[in-house]
Structure 1
Amino acid sequence: MSELRIRGLQKSFDAHPVLHGIDLSVERGTLLALLGPSGSGKTTLLRVLCGFERADGGSVEIDGRRVAGDNLHVPSEQRRIGYVPQEGALFPHLSVADNIVFGLPRTQRRARHRVAELLELVGLPANFGERAPQQLSGGQQQRVALARALAPAPTLVMLDEPFSSLDAALRLETRQAVANALAAAGATAVLVTHDQSEALSLGHEVAVLWDGRLIQTATPETLYQRPATRELASFVGEAVLLPGTVEQDRVSCALGELALVAPLGHGAVDVMVRPEQIRLLRADETPHDRAALDAVVTEVIYQGQDAGVTLQLQSGTRTMVRARVPGYRCPRPGEAVRLAVDGYVSAYPRVPSQAHSSR
């Protein structure tokens, strides 16, 4: 498989800029999750990389070969890119095997080249090759679409929100099967998604596109623990944002004095704490390793394996915060508890007009 290099990529539609100077590198064998809200430019970027759209500026290189830039536009069929669309887009009048070999030369189509191998790679039995696509579940159809994309041994694989139409249980099973198949094939891949958990669980790296600009590229752990902006902190998971004052590697806020993931000088900041960092204790319990604060539970949203808990601190301005606890430890509304914050937190220089919340 190949490496991907994007430099200064720009694209507009009807004089409206959609991509603003995108710089991005994807190393060989890496699964990059391209994450962003609806309208951020994710699908446009994927279509430009595939050659479905012509770039207005910048360049794209695949394994050192330029395919876009300086008035160059290599057609999509010459880029050796495997493409998996949202709905799989299998041909209903062809068998699974014929769908898989559809893009191969005629002699390989007749021989059903590598069909059994590719079905095994995506976790399906070899006898599925004789079935019609409509005899398969949605998740199985997406695996066949991946097998079809891998059949010509492409340099890159592009996946355009391939799990969005599946129900929750099937989505988890299918995306793990797809991740395993890509890893077994040693594929270099770009997964476009607006699902944060999907990006964090599948991507070796995650690149976040926001209003047509790439605002952070990092490992899933770094992106979640140290998001580049407060807006990104609230987009990637749930965030408690509180005003505070920083002094080098410590910050003081309504939740006490907390340790920062990185020194930040001094002054007014907005502190970001993840709800699962807020540990709930019994009203008579005091942790031996840190200070605890008194609070009252005002709301509980039970979700089975965990629960969202809204709390009102009983000191100072009686700030409201949200915690996330295991479902079996779910407290009751009105219950008095104590809380402590585990781990390190992030902070951002204060924007004077910024409204603070525990979203």
Structure 2
Amino acid sequence: MKTIIVVAKYYPPLTNARSIQAKLFVDALTLKYKVILITVRNGDTFESNNENLVIIRVGKPPVVDSYKVGFFKKIARKLIKEFKVTFGNAWSREVSKELINNLQYSNNVISLSEPFDSHLAVLDVYKKHDFNWLCFYSDPWPHSIMPKPYSNSALPLISKLQEFRSKKVLNLADAVLLTNNKAMQYIEKKLQITLQHKCNIVRHQMADIDLDSKSVEGDSYIVHIGHLSKERVNVKFFQCLVDSLGHLKIDRIKLVGRVCDMFLNVIKENQWEDYFELVGEVEQKQAINIAFSAKAVLLIEAEMTDSPFIPSKLAEYFNIPIPILCLTNQFSESSDLISNINNGVVVTHCMDDNEMLKLIASLNSIDITEELYSRAKGVFSQQEVIKSVSELLT
């Protein structure tokens, strides 16, 4: 059985979306390959019973940033983070040493981002050693090349250095993995590089979660899972959704995960407290089971002129036989996937109130059959990951 070395800074027991997706990607690989995973050390225990996986942890456990800090401390913290992710840090240097020690077991190395540290660790070794390097970008990077509003947080001088570093990684790597073709075209345009000749698509993975029995008692609800950030807030859309609850025979909208202060104020200003239930942050399994008993699930993307992203949440939604109500942009990857499978309703930011109301009302006509459910699950299957990666290994 062939061995692959994977470098991923985020991995369980960390619970963020990047960690979950890293684990699902590694789990898929171990169906066919042995994997040596180099990741960050964590204070919590994480037991792996996968006989095809060896986990090597290096560096200090990551510190969770507090949101309750002053303005100047936030700026200083961001500057330090950006410098570390641009020029390398103690963790990436330790990973480089560990990678050299393990190259005797494999000629194939895959680095996962974000954060960019994983690519930097492999880049430093790649300059001096000969191996087959696959870099996996879950999203375009750095933030300066992202579409607004996500590029608003980019720091001008550091951004140019980050773009140079990102181009270097993408040009030097033997192959590139991205989550969708639109991301490839977007990065090519923004960084003025060519990737098509060495790029394969690896979609986010859906977690294999045992679903509880579907609840038929209590309120009927629609649910949003994940961080509802200020970039995703479209008051017009939420007004149309609230106005449609009666027609849809839905009692409330559940928000599972963090909710930005901006939307909390919107709820208060519009007196929507009776329509929204703030569940808070819960474990992934509990969140998916809440969605399983919903009448529909919400997927909300920020308003952008380009849509190079595909939310990992979409894979989770495709894993349950529930209609998706998606607020996105014209020609986005999410829109294409949902429309092609026909397992949901797509609303775009540019629509007027009447268009939104009409489409939201059509949720009642979506029927997720067994055939439709099987097609949806196939889009994010583990076999597709293995196929895409296998084609690029030596």
TM-score by length of structure 1 reads 0.28
Higher strand share: 1
Query: Which structure: larger Rg?
Result: 1
TM-score, normalized by length of structure 2?
A: 0.26
